[in-house]
Chain A
Amino acid sequence: MNKLASRRRVLKSTTVGLATAVGLPLLDCFLNANGNAMAATDGKKAGAPLPVCFGTWWQGLGLNPGRWIPEKVGAGYTHNVELKPLEKFTGRMNVISGTKYFLDGRPLETHTTGLQIASMGRIPTGVNTVASLDSEIADVIGKNTRFRSIELALDGSRASVSKRAGSATNPSDPSPEALYARIFGPEFRDPNAADFTPDVQAMARRSVLSDVQDERMSLAKELGASDRARLDEYFTALRQVEQQLDIELRKPDPLPACSASAKPTDIKTGREVAFVEQNIKMFGTLMAHALACGQTRVFNVMVGSLGLRKPGTTQSWHPLTHEEPIDDALGYQKEVTWFIDFMNRGFASFLTELDSIKEGAGTVLDRSVVVWQTDHGYARTHTIDALPIFTVGGAAGRLKTGIHVSAAGDPATRIGLTMQQAMGVQRGSWGGLSNETSKTFTEILA
């Protein structure tokens, strides 16, 4: 009875403000005894754990040296002052300090080179690039979801770190409203709905896509190698549309913690901090529901730090990093540090949303890992060493947490390799030239 009562509370917490569409008998029917794995449905084996999810958080402009590195290395560290907003996640996150980006004689494109190395492991030599690590991971863990990955930008732009191989950048959804429509619009199928009737229009559309496939494929014969590669990207993209239709036409497996997110209202997008603060929470809620509903397993958040600003001021975050004098009394740039604190609180707010959807004994955050990376160790002087890196979430038991790893002078790409291996990407080394590494952070791999 206690178990049932506790599940009732769980249900209540996941459906606040919404009509409760999920009944308790359904919950009992589909969860295993521990509540963290699927019961047998549609011929699937009982007890399959809920799948792992992977997220990135790209926050440019670094942190303040000396204010974020924990004193203690190893397990049981305590957060330094700048990471206090993330204190409640201490035991569930890892801090990695000391890594760097290597230029190998190439010019430093400030605020760009770091992003390229962190996401692709190398500085590209042209427009065509390798896929970013989230795409590599999505190809392993996200193949059967409605969205291979979801990208979102907090500043109202379409900017994104996520790239497919070639020249395709997966654009961000610029507003919670747009993302809501994409995930929870009319094409969303509630996995817990009692009835399921395949949509006739969707059936016809799926059939049409098959019918015209040969005609579309014929183009490949006329193209050179590089354009054929671009056409391949087109077909990869098309497969997602086909897959979305396939998913729409199939009765989904029940996911007890799933409920459609409430529709975001009063949306204002842009670079003003008030808008960003509101949208972090809305985006966080949407992503939490999307993950709980199995719509995707990979997401990428672009903060858009450079242009963030307070209304009525002449400076945004980026120019401030270069132009604000260091406060003599404080020993750091006061306004810049305000932005750092603002966005660290924002990161905590986003994580809190992921943590608010309970799945048995754990939460959506517990079966996810979110990797926080940045472009410069210290934006004021564009340093590319002593970089802060964080991971939050245990990735469904694939990662150990609560550890501070000091990796002075090592390539920052070690985290990308570690994440790919943790997510099941078959890869022994990753990166280019001096950024190539075959060393994972074994300290955090479970």
Chain B
Amino acid sequence: MKQMHLIAVAVCAALASCAPAEDKVSGAGTTAGVAPVVAGEATMRRLTAEQYQNVIADLFGDTIELGGRFEPELRVNGLMAVGASSVSVTAAGMEQYDMMARRIAAQIMDEKRRALMMPCQPADAKLADDACARQFLAESGLWLYRRPLTDAELGSYVTTANKAAARLGNFHDGLAMSFSAMLASPRFLFRQETLEPDPAHKGQVRLTAYAKAAQLSFFLWNSGPDRALFEAARTGEIHTPKGYAKQVDRMIASPRLERGVRAFFVDNFHFDEFSLLTKDAEIFPKFSAQVLADAQEQTLRTVVDLLVKRRGDYRDIFTTKKTFLTQELAAIYKVPVAEHGPNGSPDIWQAFEFSKDSAYGGVQSQIAFTALHSHPGRSSPTIRGKAIREILMCQKVPAPPGNVDFKLVQDTNNPVYRTVRQRMDAHATNPVCTGCHKITDPMGYALETFDGGGAFRTKENGADIDASGTLDGKQFKSAMELGKVLHDSPATANCLVNRMASYATGRTFKREPWIQAMEQGFAAQGYVVPELMRAVALHDVFTRVAPPAQQAAN
């Protein structure tokens, strides 16, 4: 209990919300004791494509090409990080892992690169070399398994390398075979929350030091631990509240935090859906493959700059005028950007601030939102409104009912109903439809001033666009005003807290007292996202894990 208490103290130190505790809702301000967390069942999460890539890049540099297709990921309760606790590997996926493993191993053992990539070379390249194989496999194994290999594991891989080398008459080919087997091992492809008896709490369990290190690094950096973190695990320092907090501080201060924040927002903003996004080339001629890539990068740069570099208020992502543009994006936004940086540098990304009068402001007005949540040839207030509810506010919009007659919906050639809004209003006369459309459409209407490719417009089919609407009783007349309503809505900030806790742990949570406490902490602390990440990392929920159930689920 001592450790839990100290962690709670550390959280209080990080979040001003903790003092004075009596001001808070029941259980607020502390993370253990007052509003105890029910320990989540240990999970096994499949590495995402980006995590796989990051681990390989951390180990061998970013020149290694993977050259394979990863299995599609599964989104559960808004996050693929949660779905990762449910997915496995299919036969087609295994073929790809196997192929990638061999390809990576071949690049490392390549004659021109091996001196750089390997810590040793064999005495005779035509023969097995036990010592060199052992050195390479032990070092690589630490990074891939995220813990030192056991003697049995290392022995197995070394024997395998030696046997293959003898069979093939080549040390490096043999080692490559053994190493690619390690890359295709479930211990690399899945992150396990490994448990051990907790000496401080008789009869209870805790994450092992190395599992704790990996849990932290994948959450904050979207990759495996670095040497310092491994060292904290090896010495057991990570099990002490002080040592643990020290690592969290170090990792939050690291430039690698950007990578972690980007990964969170790629997941949270559903950017995986870009892989299937198409825009009609005749209707949106400027919407090229480059724009598709740049649009995602623009939003990620916007949030990283605001939330990490400037440690700004999370809610400002809905109103910020500051962003980054390329020439291709500028052509759609119809604003001028220089071809080069201010000092003549060839950076294609230029910092840009939309004018006060511009309709653009906030990530929901950016192409990555307005174009992603549209049809291939036109905008959709319903899809956009649904995205705002589900992605930004964590609210589930019910699926449309069956047996609905859509004949009043939309006829784009209808001379009476020229704008989407007019057509949707006609559709919403059906009482079965109106309930859900009232939840989504009014927010979507505010974004109707952006067409399906993200460009600003004031008219649709020659008729003026009416961008007014309401959100939970708050009225707005434009996209910018919608941004302000989102900024002020408690639902958006609370949603982020819940998503961050889910993302970190791979589990889903209701709005339990401890989550409410964390919401209050986030608010009191000024909605600074790295501080929220710190709070999650230091919270019981992040490290308290129960043994998995032995009965098959469902």
Contacts and interface: CB of A to CB of B under 8 A. Distances in A.
Nearest to B194: A222
B9 interface: no
A331 to B, nearest CB: 13
B530 to A, nearest CB: 31
Interface of A: 107-110, 125-128, 147-149, 151, 156-158, 164, 166-171, 173, 178, 182, 200-201, 203-205, 207-209, 211-212, 214-216, 219, 222-227, 229-231, 233-234, 236-238, 240-241, 244, 270-272, 307, 309, 311-316, 319, 321-326, 380-384
Contacts of A169: 72, 74, 90
B152 A215 contact: yes
A170 B547 contact: no
A323 B409 contact: yes
Contacts of A207: 163-164, 167
A204 B76 CA distance: 40
B549 A237 contact: no
A311 B284 CA distance: 11
Contacts of A227: 42-44, 192, 548
Nearest to B69: A178
A223 B160 contact: no
A208 B164 contact: yes
B550 A225 contact: yes
Nearest to B550: A225
Contacts of B276: 156-157, 307
B44 A237 contact: no
Nearest to B412: A314
Interface stretch (B250-258, B260-268, B400-408): B400-408
A108 B411 contact: no
Contact of B156 (A171, A214, A244, A326): A214
A170 B72 contact: no
B402 A311 contact: no
Contacts of B407: 325-326
A241 to B, nearest CB: 5
Interface residues of B, number: 78
Interface string B82-113: 01001111111111001000000000000000
A221 to B, nearest CB: 11
Nearest to A211: B160
Contacts of B411: 323-325
Contact of A241 (B98, B177, B378): B98
B280 A312 contact: yes
Nearest to A378: B403
Contacts of B403: 381-383
A433 to B, nearest CB: 15
B159 interface: yes
B90 A167 contact: no
Contact of B553 (A222, A225, A233, A326): A225
A311 B554 CA distance: 45
B282 interface: yes
A203 B173 CA distance: 13
Interface stretch (B47-55, B181-189, B482-490): B181-189
A215 B156 contact: yes
A314 B377 contact: yes
8 interchain residue pairs of minimum CB distance: A224-B548, A314-B377, A237-B94, A233-B88, A322-B406, A240-B91, A312-B282, A230-B88
B92 A171 contact: yes
A311 B282 contact: yes
A200 to B, nearest CB: 7
B551 interface: yes
B278 interface: yes
A241 B71 CA distance: 16
Given A128-B553, A224-B42, A170 B92 contact: yes
Contacts of A312: 280, 282-283
B281 interface: yes
A107 B398 contact: yes
A110 B433 CA distance: 14
A209 B181 contact: yes
B464 interface: no
Among B91, B168, B173, B177, max chain A CB count under 10 A is at: B91
B157 interface: yes
Contacts of B69: 178
A234 B187 CA distance: 11
Contacts of B93: 168, 171, 237
Nearest to A240: B91
Contacts of A224: 41-42, 547-550
Nearest to B165: A204
B178 interface: yes
B152 A128 contact: no
A363 B327 CA distance: 56
B153 interface: yes
A313 B174 CA distance: 56
B376 interface: yes
B314 to A, nearest CB: 29
A237 B90 contact: yes
B157 A226 contact: no
A207 B186 CA distance: 18
30 contacts: A108-B401, A156-B276, A164-B90, A166-B88, A171-B72, A204-B173, A211-B160, A212-B157, A212-B182, A215-B157, A224-B547, A224-B550, A226-B549, A230-B44, A230-B190, A231-B44, A233-B88, A234-B89, A237-B90, A240-B91, A240-B94, A241-B95, A241-B98, A244-B95, A309-B280, A312-B283, A313-B377, A323-B409, A323-B410, A382-B401
A168 B548 contact: no
Contact of A168 (B89, B174, B184, B185): B89
Given A168-B93, A225-B550, A233-B90, 9 more contacts: A169-B72, A169-B74, A200-B167, A208-B178, A212-B178, A226-B552, A227-B548, A314-B378, A316-B377
A316 B375 contact: yes
Contact of A315 (B159, B375, B399): B375
Contacts of B88: 164, 166-168, 230-231, 233-234, 237
A207 B160 CA distance: 8
A215 B74 CA distance: 28
Contacts of A200: 167-168
Contacts of B550: 224-225
B153 A215 contact: yes
Contacts of A151: 92
Interface string B373-407: 00111100000000000000000001111111111
Contacts of A182: 95
Contact of B548 (A127, A158, A225): A225
Contact of B90 (A170, A211, A244): A170
Nearest to A224: B548
Contact of A381 (B71, B72, B402): B402
B90 A382 contact: no
Given A171-B71, A219-B192, A322-B409, A212 B401 contact: no
